[in-house]
Structure 1
Amino acid sequence: MSKAKASNSYLGVTEPISLSGPTEKDVLQTAEVEKYLTDAGLYESQEESVSREEVLGKLDQTVKDWIKRATRLSGYGEQFVQEANAKIFTFGSYRLGVHGPGADIDTLYVGPRHAPRNEYFFQWLHDILAEMPEVSELHPDLDLSQDSILHNVDEQTVRSLNGCRVTDQILRLVPNIPVCLFSNMP
């Protein structure tokens, strides 16, 4: 049995082909490919990156305001209204860091049970977001990795949650995220 396997210092079920780091040639070739991708416009600008963060912040605040309104209109007391919360999660290429300029941002909304998807999300929140000029498309701090989040939810909700869960699991299992993400750029 090899030393790597005996100490279980690798991820996955099989032993890695090599534990060696990149050679000087590898580093130079990586820099050349990165330059080519940058010159080809496959990385978003700093301005676009900041804009994405601002959009996500505004969406998060909109959802938080909306859930308080939904809670109040559902007849709950003011203390419960103030404690009501919702959260936006990103997944897909944006969450993995492999999105290109102009790419969409896949998001998932997770909120309390008293604001069911059909009645509240697809009617009220959809209407609020649709009125915002900066919103062009609409598609449907919580630990999503816990399996308990999947209890007592319908199959559609499980699929939505698993978009984030699978992306997060990929990020946890990859030992060198920058190298992996770089090799998967569009």
Structure 2
Amino acid sequence: MKVTQQSLRSSLDQTLEKHKVKESDKGNAIRSGIVSTLTKEFTNWCSEGQVLTIGSYKLGVHSPDSDIDIVCLAPQRYTRQEFQTEFFTRLQSLPDVSYCYGIFRAKVPLIKLVINEIRIDLQYANTDQDIHNLRVEILEEATLLSLNAYRNNDMILTLVPNIESFKSMLRAVKIWAKKRGLYSGIFGFLGGAAWSLLAAKICILYPSLSEPELIYKFFKVYSMWDWSVPICLNPEQNSYAYPTYQGHMTILTPAYPSYNAAYTLTASSYYCIVQELELACKIVKDILEGNQEWQALFEEIDFFQQYRYLLKVTIHASSENDYETWSGLVFSRIKFLMQELEHMYPRPVVVFYNKPFEVVHKSYKVSYNYFIGLNFNFPQNVKVDLRMPIHNFCTVLNEQRPNKSGMSLRINFMPRKDLTYTKQFLRS
């Protein structure tokens, strides 16, 4: 079947539209209003302050379910402690805020908000320097990391030769990664920054290609990539100057100082991504030859058929707000459990499935099950005991509960054949 670039692009646009990868005009107006409200509130607190958007919103590739990521920038004299107390209190009093919680002990502290059902992550940076010409050695680490997120987004938009082609290709890559369970830094895969850098690299290498051709090149190049070689956007970035960044993959951010945006990868997630890149390359090749439709690229992974064993992670909370707080804490630590399981013998493949299943519990208002898939390569007569790492993980997390009477965590091991959710999920 003969296909043209025009027909491929048209069918791609139609398929992406079905997956709602673009925010509506109404949704964009709401988001713009939220940013304006936060800007007004922040500049009322700090007259010289700035509100800088970062992430998917800054790049123009946000979808209806995307967060808005923001850096609140203030002069040096406005301390982080003041931001986390005075400004935090102001946010809590805003009429449209339905959730407001501070995560202040993280490497990059932030305030999580929900306004008009849209999630916002607020970071803070304070410096008197020009943010485009920073003396990084005198900056607090959290300020540097927040400002670098903004600078990296700026550099991507500067280095990419065709912004609209980049956006279209990145939207396709993001929906593919989400459907295949590969999009989440917190669960050991690649986050939005890493996927954006990978997409930008392809656009820089092939500036004259159409969106369908760029998508094919994305999967072709990365399915064959030697991952001992870092991905760099800047030609002046010396790949061999970053030995400390070596991991399963090294995807370097362009702004100085560079960091590895793929630091979140585990051995299992690296294996999954490599396998999925190869499969996607074959699918897109068939699409370009007219043998398949674009929807074939965006089929959701059949997770429960991929893994013989499962860990059921049950998160209980007494309210929606408690659940937001408690699940956020559990998710921020879950990768440590997965990495500990990876180091058991025989070494399993351990993958988190980021799809919640709501359950009814008589003692808690909000309860969800999540699942971790495990595949072991061992003879039938070999027994594997996971009780100790699971018990230790649950004990530590339950001790850290902000509301000990209204939050609970349980993790149970089970063979796939014992899971009633499997049939329910497949039917859905």
Of 98, 107, 112, 2:61 maps to: 98
Which one has more relative contact order, counting CA pairs under 8 Å at least 6 apart?
1
8 A Cα contact 1:85 1:111, kept in partner: yes
Counterpart for residue 161 of structure 1: 147
Counterpart secondary structure, 2:164:
helix
Of 147, 150, 164, 1:178 maps to: 164
Counterpart for residue 89 of structure 2: 127
Moved over 4 A (4+): none
Question: What is the CA deviation profile of residues 115-158 of structure 1, one whole-angstrom value per residue up to 9, with x for unaligned ones?
Answer: 1112x111111111122243343442x9632234x463211110
**TM-score normalised over the length of structure 2:** 0.32
Of 15, 25, 31, 2:4 maps to: 25
- Structure 2 residue runs of 5 or longer lacking an equivalent are 100-111, 114-121, 124-128, 176-428
Paired AA for residue 46 in structure 1: D
8 A Cα contact 1:90 1:108, kept in partner: yes
8 A Cα contact 1:88 1:108, kept in partner: yes
Counterpart secondary structure, 2:78:
coil
8 A Cα contact 1:91 1:107, kept in partner: yes
Counterpart Cα distance in 2 of 1:85 and 1:128:
17
Counterpart secondary structure, 2:150:
helix
Work out which of the two has the higher radius of gyration on C-alpha atoms and give 1 or 2. 2
- Structure 1 residue runs of 5 or longer lacking an equivalent are 1-23, 68-83
1:1-186 to 2 correspondences below 5 Å:
25-67=4-46, 84-118=47-81, 120-135=82-97, 136=99, 137-138=112-113, 139-140=122-123, 144-148=131-135, 150=136, 152-185=138-171, 186=175
Please report how far the alpha carbon of residue 103 of structure 1 lies from its aligned counterpart in structure 2 after TM superposition: 1.1
Identical counterparts, % of pairs:
28
Counterpart secondary structure, 2:51:
strand
Counterpart Cα distance in 2 of 1:61 and 1:131:
14
More strand by share: 2
8 A Cα contact 1:144 1:161, kept in partner: yes
Paired AA for residue 55 in structure 1: I
Tell me how many residue pairs correspond in the alignment. 144
Please report how far the alpha carbon of residue 35 of structure 1 lies from its aligned counterpart in structure 2 after TM superposition: 1.6
Counterpart Cα distance in 2 of 1:172 and 1:35:
28
8 A Cα contact 1:93 1:99, kept in partner: yes
Bigger mean CA offset, 128-137 vs 88-97: 128-137
CA 176–167 in structure 1, closer or farther in 2 if over 3 Å, else same: same
Paired AA for residue 146 in structure 1: N
More helix by share: 1
Paired AA for residue 88 in structure 1: V
Question: What is the CA deviation profile of residues 98-122 of structure 1, one whole-angstrom value per residue up to 9, with x for unaligned ones?
Answer: 111021110001111111112x111
8 A Cα contact 1:60 1:87, kept in partner: yes
8 A Cα contact 1:144 1:164, kept in partner: no
Counterpart secondary structure, 1:132:
coil
Please report how far the alpha carbon of residue 165 of structure 1 lies from its aligned counterpart in structure 2 after TM superposition: 0.7
Q: What value does the CA root-mean-square deviation take over the aligned residues?
A: 2.0
Paired AA for residue 99 in structure 1: H
Please report how far the alpha carbon of residue 28 of structure 1 lies from its aligned counterpart in structure 2 after TM superposition: 2.8
CA 144–25 in structure 1, closer or farther in 2 if over 3 Å, else same: farther
Counterpart Cα distance in 2 of 1:110 and 1:91:
12
Paired AA for residue 134 in structure 2: D
